[in-house]
Amino acid sequence: MAHSVPGWRNAAAVVATASLLAAGLGIPEASAAATPRIDLEVLVVDNGDSPVQAITAELKSTGIPYTRVNLDDANRPTIDAAFLSGTVDGTPRAKFQGVVLPNEAPFGAGSAEQTALEAYERTYGIPQVDAYTWAHPGVGLDYTSEGGWAGTLDGREAAVTDAGRTGPFGYLDGQLPFEDNSTSLQESYGFVARPRAGYTSYLDIAVPGGSGRGSLVGEYTHDGRRELVVTFAYNQHQRQFRVLARGIVEWLTEGVHLGRSRNYLAVHIDDVFAPDSRWDTEHDCTPGSFNCGGEGEGTEPIRMTAADAEYAKQWQQSSGFTLDMVYNGGSGEEWKAANGGTDALTDRLLADKNAYRWINHTYTHQYLGCVQDTSTVPWSCAKNADGSTRYLGRADIAGQIRDNHDWGVAHGLPVRRDELVTGEHSGLRTLPQQPDDNPNLAGALADNAVTWIASDNSREPGQRSVGAALTVPRHPMNVYYNVGTAAEMVDEYNWVYTSAADGGSGVCENNATSTCLAAPLDPTTGYASHIVPQEVRTALLHATGNDPRPHYAHQSNLAEERLLYPVLDQVLADYRALFAADTPLENPRQSSVGTELKRRAAWQTAVANGTVTAYRTGTTVTVTAPSGTEIPVTAPEGTVRQLAVGTTAFGTPYAGARSAWTTRAPLQTAVKLKLP
């Protein structure tokens, strides 16, 4: 055999490939005994359609190097033998370990480029993904007129077959419902068809209006080649693709590739110990905000009770999920002083302090950016006499960070000095009022040894430096900080997302990034029927998209009607219904997220700079990179790492494989793995 493959690889294709290699067909200067070098890189032939772009996004997110050939580019390279293969020191070289195509023959059947590509795949045993095609014998399927069906798949239930569960989709639990987010839009069209000889179905569905089951994803083995055939349309933001993406990539790379992927969910609860202002449903504003004037001054703020804290602890235990409590110790002290000197909430949370993770949110949630001039709506940055922006000073910022950390340590909280979330992410640039960071922020972070500072992902999705610290972008959850009941949540949601004619603010009509609701939500049912499903869908897309960035809500969402729990309960239930036990949700803390994002950025730079070389020869994987470069690698169970003396088990298990960030060992010039 030319090179090792997972047990689910089709045996006929292995035999055909081995025979061709033994004969030296298609391999420049090959000898009968030559074992080819297979570079760990993917070829993507892109016609601009969303299925190819979805798979490309998965490759990029995972960290797999790829070369994209744009079919619409008149100056694109010609796909021929020289482009696809060659030799290295007399050893046959395949430049790509897998090929992603828009369909089974994008260059045209029988064309020179299509012929060259098929010969390459046949010679080196290279898998091909047909990103989206129709059901016909050319891809191993009957026509849909022969007991199949074609139409909209929205809301239909597909299932991973036995072959899929023992093969590339073994990380899934079995059932896979297609999304149906709009009754007025067709979201996913597909061809459901019966397999022919040589075709193994991995995902199928009951034939609508017919009998038996038809395939939507499967492997077609023919003519010494293997194709993964997908017969439904999708984009990278649809749940059905997100759930299947890992398996598509693992099939394409035969389970051996650069890059690694996990499913993540972390949830930060901001303002713990502090009260949050309450939305004024009469005046449609939040008391204390700059656009509310003196309205709603008597509105009771929202703050957790001891019972809410007890519920949070019990919820964590029953759900198997840990929350990050982002706390303001000074705000809690102020509340206590104003309420008779006792505080049952703080007592309860401190008694259960080891049940949670804790993150510094500054002592009193002071705004750490420019000094705010509230005489205008919206507010603006106050100016110095010379016209420059007036900023909060370094000592004041440092004091807010230091005092809150010290409060946490004094009360026994397991808090880390290197993690920080500032109030409203203040201190960081805030457009349009403050286009730059507070110049005093970086020094204050250094004064307190802060290396990871949270930022708002909706404003800054990328990680960046703030002095010696790095940002950790967080996803805002659309469960508002200033509501304690479902009715309040719906009232504010309607104000934001309905037209002026329907009684809303009309903001949605004038914002290019927003859309208006067709009609206001029902105050009694709108939260459960509309808002919760929307938030669940968004959070699950992040969780299944190899996105470690935390989500954040507020302590008010754990109080009163405890609005956050229905969202989290459904996210966890949906996730666990989709994925097998060996593919758990990882729940990283802020510093771990920051480290992961930092590693990814450095890895992408190394790949882009051409300083990484990786290939597979038989059962040996070799990766060279500059000294100190952290390299992400995924390989099958049973893989070992070869050291200068002896071997050691490689990586940690996840989704039926093993993966790790690794560096070359002392006395070695490369990372070397031995596949099982």
The pLDDT tens digits for 254-293 are 999 999 999 999 999 999 999 999 999 999 999 988 778 7
Token pair of 366 as six digits: 């002071």
**pLDDT the model gives residue 33:** 52
Q: Which helix or strand (DSSP H or E) is residue 632 part of?
A: strand 631-636
- Decide if pLDDT at 17 tops 50: no
Q: What is the pLDDT of residue 616?
A: 98
Alpha carbon of 301 to those of 78, 276, 310, 609: distances in Å?
66, 6, 20, 53
| 168 dihedral zone (left: phi>0; alpha: psi -120 to 50; beta) | alpha
For residue 6, pLDDT over 70 is answered with: no
Q: Distance of CA 269 to CAs 143, 326, 358, 530, 558, Å?
A: 53, 6, 9, 23, 9
Q: Which two tokens stand for residue 112?
A: 């020179």
Q: Which residues contact 342 (CB under 8 A, 6 or more apart)?
A: 336
- For 124-177, the pLDDT digits (tens) are 999 999 999 999 999 999 999 999 999 999 999 999 999 999 999 999 999 999
Specify the pLDDT at position 557.
98
Contact 648, 239 (CB under 8 A): no
Q: How far is CA 548 from the centre of its chain?
A: 6
pLDDT reported for residue 290: 79
pLDDT tens digits, 562-601: 999 999 999 999 999 999 999 999 999 999 999 999 999 9
Beta bridge partners of 157: 177
Residue 122 pLDDT greater than 80, yes or no: yes
- Which pLDDT value is given to residue 11? 39
Number of other CB atoms surrounding residue 397 within 10 Å = 27
What pLDDT is recorded for position 214? 98
pLDDT for residue 28 is more than 80: no
Q: What whole-number percentage of the chain has pLDDT above 90?
A: 89
Question: H or E element: which one contains 226?
Answer: strand 225-230
Q: Residue 665 pLDDT > 90, yes or no?
A: no
- Helix ranges (H only) for 201-328 are 239-253, 306-319
CA distance 164 to 160: 6
Structure tokens at 57: 């996004």
Instruction: Centre a 10 Å sphere on the Cβ of residue 669 and count the other Cβ atoms it contains.
Output: 10
Is residue 434's pLDDT more than 50?
A: yes
Could you tell me the pLDDT band of residue 29, with boundaries at 50, 70 and 90?
A: very low
Give Cβ neighbours of residue 294 (< 8 Å, ≥ 6 apart): none
| pTM attached to this predicted model | 0.94
Q: What are the backbone angles phi and psi of residue 616, rounded to the nearest 5°?
A: -125, 130
Q: 3-state class of 38 per DSSP? A: strand
Mean pLDDT check: name the lowest of 101-110, 227-236, 503-512, 551-560. 503-512
Q: How far apart are CA 334 and CA 132, in angstroms?
A: 60
CA distance 179 to 446: 47
Q: Is the pLDDT of residue 527 over 80?
A: yes
The confidence score (pLDDT) of residue 644 equals 86
**Residue 378 confidence (pLDDT):** 86
Strand-pairing partners, residue 649, are 640
Residue 126: phi and psi, rounded to 5, are: -90, 125
From residue 630, alpha-carbon distances to 122, 394, 411, 599 in Å are 34, 35, 38, 7
- More confident of the two residues 645 and 360: 360
Which residues lie below 8 Å from residue 71, measured CB to CB, with a gap of 6+? 45, 46, 47, 48, 102, 106
> Average pLDDT in the 468-488 region?
98
User: Residue 182 — very low, low, confident or very high, per pLDDT cuts 50/70/90?
Assistant: confident
Q: Is the pLDDT assigned to residue 20 strictly greater than 50?
A: no
For residues 348-367, average pLDDT: 98
